[in-house]
Structure 1
Amino acid sequence: MATSHDVLPPSVAPPPVPAEPVIVPRRRAGRPLAAALALLVLALVLQSVARNAAFRWDVVSRYLTSAAIVQGLLLTLWLTAAVMVLGFALGTLLAVARLSGNPVLSALSWGYVWVFRATPVLVQLLLWFNIGALYPTLSLGVPYGPELFSVRTVNLLGPTVTAIVGLTLHEAAFAAEVVRAGILSVDQGQVEAAQSLGLPRARVLRRIVVPQAMRSIVPTAGNMLVGTLKGTSIVSVLAVHDLLFSAQLIYNQTYEVIPLLLVATLWYIAVTSVLSAVQYHVERHYARGTTRGALPPTPYARALAGLRAARPGVRR
């Protein structure tokens, strides 16, 4: 049965529903102008580079995939991978020692990082290359007893081995700080909660600390990887046949300095672009769980979304 409160008198109308305000984005007239000027400058630079005969693009295309350049590129990639793996392995041990409760290990780790971060990498390479002046032979034997074997330092440390040793020890000092910062970025309460559940220390480190620390480690480690790739060019002073030294050998014979330097530059840019793409996807992998929604879109997805917004009729 309806009551008097259920039916409104005909003379009383319901209150009008307020219309939602229309949000209009702020007009920024300077943005299109700045974009047009930037594109104009870019077009002028590209035109100048393309039409300048001094670049000798025909010579660049001829030597870009030559055997000597490709061999130097492969050595550069191998040297970069070896230095990064060995450097982060040693850096992780140094970071764990720095964070340990043992004052001796912590002090030694701090001293190692202090010395190798304060010394230029070129000085370190030259010192290791001339280590034979300090220690002509390396021997192993019983203290105050017979010598088991010995080897001359000159025969043991060649240019390539010297480059690996010098770059690894230098890289480990920076990797130790990167790993230590990543471990310290994890909330200590999560570690204490895991320990209260009786989880072993190794499992806490593997399942809780490392996945969260990687969010802070990966971006910096990616920058270190790119820096190591470019920093390997310094081993050319030791006559290691890397990418830059191979280009130098060619232009010392042909006197075409600029084209050969452009060849090395193009290869460095290509490899760095690939490494940056790999770093981006690794960051997306460890970004899972940081947002409530889906993962951040890839650059291709952003470009496709912008194209759809500009042209609503475009299909996927």
Structure 2
Amino acid sequence: MKKKVFCVLIYLQFCFIFPKTSFPGFRAWLSPYRMALGGSGYLSFSPLTNRNNPASLKSKKTFYSGLIRYPSSIMGQGLAITLPKKERVVGLAVQHLSYGTFDGYDSESISTEKYSSSDTWINFYSSKRSTWDDLKYGFAISWFKSSLAQNQINAIVFSLGLQLYLKSIDANLGISLNNHGKVFSNSSNSSGEMPKETVISSSKKLKYLPMKIFFDGIFNSRYKLDNINFGGEAKINNDLEFVWGTSLNKISQNTRQSFWKSFFAASGIGLAYNINSIKIFYSSFFLGTGTLYNGVSFEINVI
């Protein structure tokens, strides 16, 4: 019983933090790397999440796997691969967010069969450098399925992105239109609204520190500012990297219970260890209530 109640509370927590969408799974953490960045880093592509600028796809043949564990066995998982193809880079990813398995009851509180709730994405990415080398463009297309017991919602989702490199200041600017789509099958008779967003992003390598910083302004479907994310990736040495990030959600999640809960609210941290062509990444994300999410991922560069 405690497990079931806690699973529901976590799901409602997603809805509370991201109240403007009928599909809170779109903004749940699925990439440990981007979780550590606090949601920033749209120009630092991670195929384990949909929250990217598709133009920023990395031009390396790389295999990715990731796992994020929420309280009470709620889990986000993903597998992905990126492949450079001549003038283009493509990627394929499968992501799954399980909200858990629950005991079923009828209207008279008589026990019935168990049921589960989950979200699943199958994503295809493509990015290409234009004839003007400083400009890249890309797109992503996804099949999305949300399930609750026997009820399902299916959708096709599109995202578009541009990325411009500014040589004079050694920085990147980008804009992306994310999560535009169409619900084409709905057995639960409640379609909801896709969480459309427009994201203006920037990234820059600092001149006097071994760090790259990211800044993202997220606007909702009505083009009103929804959130601002800020984070960084610091190189400690050839083997170690430290990642951090936060967002304006820190304000709404400030419970004023303690200094440390307020300080770490809506913030992530992570540590990466590189072993030859393998990167092992571990991250944590803090909520203002003190709840902690943990994730681990692996990246393997294939020669």
| TM superposition score category, shorter chain reference | under 0.3
Larger relative contact order (CA 8 Å, sep ≥ 6): 1
* TM-score for both structures, normalised by structure 1: 0.23
Larger Rg: 1
Q: Which has the higher helix share?
A: 1
